[in-house]
Protein backbone atom coordinates (compact mmCIF):
# COMPACT_ATOMS: atom_id res chain seq x y z
CA UNK A 1 0.00 0.00 0.00
CA UNK A 2 1.14 3.53 -0.76
CA UNK A 3 3.01 4.97 2.26
CA UNK A 4 0.86 8.05 2.80
CA UNK A 5 2.43 8.86 6.17
CA UNK A 6 5.91 9.04 4.62
CA UNK A 7 4.48 11.04 1.73
CA UNK A 8 3.25 13.69 4.18
CA UNK A 9 6.56 13.66 6.07
CA UNK A 10 8.72 13.97 2.96
CA UNK A 11 6.66 16.76 1.42
CA UNK A 12 6.82 18.73 4.66
CA UNK A 13 10.60 18.43 4.55
CA UNK A 14 10.72 19.40 0.89
CA UNK A 15 8.61 22.50 1.50
CA UNK A 16 10.93 23.50 4.33
CA UNK A 17 13.88 23.18 1.95
CA UNK A 18 12.00 25.19 -0.66
CA UNK A 19 11.22 27.98 1.81
CA UNK A 20 14.89 28.11 2.82
CA UNK A 21 15.98 28.42 -0.80
CA UNK A 22 17.55 24.96 -0.83
CA UNK A 23 17.35 22.47 -3.73
CA UNK A 24 14.19 20.38 -3.85
CA UNK A 25 14.25 16.67 -4.68
CA UNK A 26 12.06 16.87 -7.78
CA UNK A 27 12.44 13.18 -8.73
CA UNK A 28 11.10 12.25 -5.28
CA UNK A 29 8.15 14.63 -5.63
CA UNK A 30 7.20 13.40 -9.07
CA UNK A 31 7.65 9.79 -7.98
CA UNK A 32 5.09 10.27 -5.24
CA UNK A 33 2.63 11.92 -7.63
CA UNK A 34 3.08 9.06 -10.10
CA UNK A 35 2.59 6.46 -7.36
CA UNK A 36 -0.72 8.05 -6.37
CA UNK A 37 -2.14 6.98 -9.73
CA UNK A 38 -1.59 3.32 -8.81
CA UNK A 39 -3.11 3.44 -5.33
CA UNK A 40 -5.83 0.86 -4.62
CA UNK A 41 -8.45 2.82 -2.68
CA UNK A 42 -10.58 -0.29 -2.21
CA UNK A 43 -8.27 -1.43 0.60
CA UNK A 44 -9.43 1.51 2.73
CA UNK A 45 -12.32 -0.18 4.48
CA UNK A 46 -12.78 1.78 7.71
CA UNK A 47 -13.13 5.47 8.41
CA UNK A 48 -9.90 5.31 10.41
CA UNK A 49 -8.08 4.09 7.32
CA UNK A 50 -9.79 6.60 5.07
CA UNK A 51 -9.18 9.59 7.35
CA UNK A 52 -5.51 8.85 7.92
CA UNK A 53 -4.89 8.28 4.20
CA UNK A 54 -6.76 11.33 2.93
CA UNK A 55 -5.50 13.75 5.61
CA UNK A 56 -1.90 12.76 4.93
CA UNK A 57 -2.41 12.99 1.17
CA UNK A 58 -4.15 16.37 1.44
CA UNK A 59 -1.32 17.89 3.47
CA UNK A 60 1.35 16.42 1.23
CA UNK A 61 -0.34 17.49 -2.02
CA UNK A 62 -0.78 20.99 -0.59
CA UNK A 63 2.96 21.26 -0.07
CA UNK A 64 3.54 19.83 -3.53
CA UNK A 65 1.44 22.61 -5.07
CA UNK A 66 3.16 25.29 -2.99
CA UNK A 67 6.49 24.16 -4.44
CA UNK A 68 5.20 23.41 -7.95
CA UNK A 69 3.49 26.79 -8.29
CA UNK A 70 6.53 28.58 -6.84
CA UNK A 71 4.54 30.34 -4.14
CA UNK A 72 6.92 32.63 -2.31
CA UNK A 73 5.10 34.37 0.51
CA UNK A 74 1.35 33.83 0.58
CA UNK A 75 -1.17 31.21 -0.46
CA UNK A 76 -3.11 34.10 -2.00
CA UNK A 77 -0.51 34.18 -4.77
CA UNK A 78 -2.46 31.17 -6.06
CA UNK A 79 -5.98 31.77 -4.67
CA UNK A 80 -7.56 28.89 -6.59
CA UNK A 81 -4.98 26.31 -5.53
CA UNK A 82 -7.50 24.35 -3.49
CA UNK A 83 -10.06 24.31 -6.30
CA UNK A 84 -8.48 23.92 -9.71
CA UNK A 85 -5.24 21.90 -9.91
CA UNK A 86 -5.85 18.18 -9.59
CA UNK A 87 -3.79 15.06 -9.09
CA UNK A 88 -4.60 11.57 -10.30
CA UNK A 89 -5.36 9.28 -7.37
CA UNK A 90 -6.31 5.71 -8.29
CA UNK A 91 -7.43 6.83 -11.74
CA UNK A 92 -9.61 9.68 -10.48
CA UNK A 93 -8.88 13.40 -10.52
CA UNK A 94 -8.89 15.06 -7.10
CA UNK A 95 -8.42 18.69 -6.13
CA UNK A 96 -7.72 19.67 -2.54
CA UNK A 97 -11.37 20.69 -2.26
CA UNK A 98 -12.43 17.28 -3.55
CA UNK A 99 -10.47 15.64 -0.74
CA UNK A 100 -11.67 17.99 1.98
CA UNK A 101 -15.30 18.65 1.12
CA UNK A 102 -16.00 15.59 -1.00
CA UNK A 103 -14.25 12.77 0.83
CA UNK A 104 -13.57 13.92 4.39
CA UNK A 105 -16.63 16.14 4.97
CA UNK A 106 -18.89 13.44 3.57
CA UNK A 107 -19.65 15.33 0.38
CA UNK A 108 -20.74 18.67 1.77
CA UNK A 109 -20.49 21.95 -0.08
CA UNK A 110 -17.79 24.49 0.62
CA UNK A 111 -18.51 28.08 1.63
CA UNK A 112 -18.23 29.35 -1.92
CA UNK A 113 -20.42 26.75 -3.66
CA UNK A 114 -24.15 26.21 -3.83
CA UNK A 115 -23.90 22.48 -4.49
CA UNK A 116 -22.20 19.43 -3.03
CA UNK A 117 -18.61 18.75 -4.02
CA UNK A 118 -19.42 15.49 -5.86
CA UNK A 119 -22.41 14.98 -8.11
CA UNK A 120 -24.63 12.00 -7.29
CA UNK A 121 -23.21 10.00 -10.21
CA UNK A 122 -19.55 10.71 -9.49
CA UNK A 123 -17.53 7.50 -9.00
CA UNK A 124 -15.59 9.33 -6.28
CA UNK A 125 -18.59 8.95 -3.97
CA UNK A 126 -17.32 5.42 -3.35
CA UNK A 127 -14.43 6.83 -1.30
CA UNK A 128 -16.40 9.13 1.01
CA UNK A 129 -16.19 8.53 4.77
CA UNK A 130 -19.15 6.93 6.54
CA UNK A 131 -19.30 9.57 9.26
CA UNK A 132 -18.15 13.18 9.29
CA UNK A 133 -15.57 13.82 12.01
CA UNK A 134 -15.32 17.53 12.88
CA UNK A 135 -11.76 17.01 14.13
CA UNK A 136 -10.44 16.79 10.57
CA UNK A 137 -10.51 20.59 10.51
CA UNK A 138 -7.70 20.58 13.06
CA UNK A 139 -5.58 18.27 10.91
CA UNK A 140 -5.86 19.73 7.39
CA UNK A 141 -3.33 22.35 6.40
CA UNK A 142 -3.93 24.42 3.23
CA UNK A 143 -0.43 25.86 3.39
CA UNK A 144 -1.21 29.01 5.38
CA UNK A 145 0.24 29.99 8.75
CA UNK A 146 -3.21 30.14 10.34
CA UNK A 147 -3.94 26.53 9.42
CA UNK A 148 -3.38 23.76 11.95
CA UNK A 149 0.11 22.29 12.15
CA UNK A 150 0.83 19.15 10.16
CA UNK A 151 1.02 15.80 11.93
CA UNK A 152 1.30 12.36 10.37
CA UNK A 153 -1.70 10.11 10.89
CA UNK A 154 -2.03 6.34 11.16
CA UNK A 155 -5.22 4.24 11.30
CA UNK A 156 -4.38 2.68 14.66
CA UNK A 157 -3.74 6.00 16.39
CA UNK A 158 -5.90 8.43 14.48
CA UNK A 159 -8.64 8.82 17.09
CA UNK A 160 -6.14 9.87 19.74
CA UNK A 161 -4.14 11.91 17.22
CA UNK A 162 -7.18 13.89 16.08
CA UNK A 163 -8.21 14.56 19.66
CA UNK A 164 -4.72 15.88 20.38
CA UNK A 165 -4.83 18.02 17.23
CA UNK A 166 -8.19 19.47 18.27
CA UNK A 167 -7.07 20.22 21.82
CA UNK A 168 -3.81 21.78 20.65
CA UNK A 169 -5.53 24.04 18.12
CA UNK A 170 -8.26 25.10 20.56
CA UNK A 171 -5.72 26.05 23.22
CA UNK A 172 -4.26 28.60 20.82
CA UNK A 173 -7.20 29.53 18.63
CA UNK A 174 -10.36 29.32 20.76
CA UNK A 175 -9.90 31.72 23.66
CA UNK A 176 -12.85 32.30 25.99
CA UNK A 177 -13.10 35.27 28.33
CA UNK A 178 -15.96 34.26 30.62
CA UNK A 179 -15.77 37.44 32.68
CA UNK A 180 -16.44 39.70 29.72
CA UNK A 181 -18.31 37.08 27.70
CA UNK A 182 -16.01 37.36 24.70
CA UNK A 183 -14.59 34.66 22.46
CA UNK A 184 -11.57 35.27 20.26
CA UNK A 185 -11.04 32.49 17.80
CA UNK A 186 -9.87 31.34 14.40
CA UNK A 187 -12.21 31.81 11.45
CA UNK A 188 -12.14 28.04 11.05
CA UNK A 189 -14.78 27.90 13.78
CA UNK A 190 -17.03 30.12 11.67
CA UNK A 191 -16.27 28.56 8.29
CA UNK A 192 -17.21 25.09 9.50
CA UNK A 193 -19.82 25.99 12.09
CA UNK A 194 -22.25 23.41 10.66
CA UNK A 195 -19.68 20.68 11.26
CA UNK A 196 -19.18 21.78 14.88
CA UNK A 197 -22.74 21.00 15.88
CA UNK A 198 -23.52 22.28 19.39
CA UNK A 199 -19.87 22.89 20.22
CA UNK A 200 -17.50 25.87 20.08
CA UNK A 201 -19.33 28.98 18.86
CA UNK A 202 -22.47 26.89 18.35
CA UNK A 203 -22.45 25.74 21.99
CA UNK A 204 -25.64 26.97 23.74
CA UNK A 205 -23.59 28.07 26.74
CA UNK A 206 -21.96 30.74 24.57
CA UNK A 207 -25.18 32.13 23.10
CA UNK A 208 -24.71 35.50 24.87
CA UNK A 209 -21.00 35.79 24.08
CA UNK A 210 -19.56 38.16 21.55
CA UNK A 211 -17.34 36.40 19.02
CA UNK A 212 -14.28 38.12 17.59
CA UNK A 213 -12.50 36.36 14.76
CA UNK A 214 -8.78 36.57 14.36
CA UNK A 215 -7.30 37.79 11.09
CA UNK A 216 -6.37 34.81 8.93
CA UNK A 217 -2.68 34.68 8.09
CA UNK A 218 -2.27 33.35 4.56
CA UNK A 219 1.53 33.50 4.54
CA UNK A 220 3.20 30.14 3.94
Read out DSSP for 14-60? HHHHHHTTPPP-HHHHHHHHHHHTT--GGG--SHHHHHHHHHHHHHH
What's the pLDDT score for residue 37? 97
116 sits in which H/E element: none
Tally of domains within the chain: 1
Residue 104 falls within a domain, yes or no?
A: yes
Intervals of the chain under pLDDT 70: none
Show the DSSP H helices in the chain as ranges: 4-19, 26-36, 47-68, 96-97, 158-173, 188-191
Helices (H) and strands (E) in the chain, counts: 6, 5
Q: What pLDDT is stored for residue 1 in this prediction? A: 77
Are the C-beta atoms of 87 and 106 separated by less than 8 Å?
A: no
69 inside domain: yes
Q: Does some domain include residue 214?
A: no
Q: Determine the Cα–Cα distance for residues 206 and 210; give it in Å rounded to an integer.
A: 8
Which pTM was predicted? 0.96
Provide the pLDDT for residue 32: 98
**Position 215 in a domain:** no
Residue 38 lies in a domain: yes
pLDDT value, residue 19: 95
Residue 205: per-residue pLDDT: 96
Question: Rounded CA gap, 65 and 79, in Å?
Answer: 12
pLDDT value of residue 58: 97
pLDDT in tens, 7-30: 999 999 999 999 999 999 999 999
Residue range of the domain that includes 95: 4-171
Amino acid 112: pLDDT: 86
Whether 217 is covered by a domain: the verdict is no
Checking DSSP bridges between strand 174-177 and strand 87-89, what pairing results, if any?
unpaired
Residue 177 lies in a domain: no
Contact between residue 134 and residue 196 where contact means Cβ atoms under 8 Å apart: yes
Residue 108 lies in a domain: yes
Amino acid sequence: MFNHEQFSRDLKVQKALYKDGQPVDWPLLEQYIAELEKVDLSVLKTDAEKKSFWINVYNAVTNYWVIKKKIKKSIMESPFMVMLPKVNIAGHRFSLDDIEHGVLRKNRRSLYKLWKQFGKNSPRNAFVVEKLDHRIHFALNCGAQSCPTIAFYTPKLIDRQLTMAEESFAEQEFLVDDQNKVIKCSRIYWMYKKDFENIYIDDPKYKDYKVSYRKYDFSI
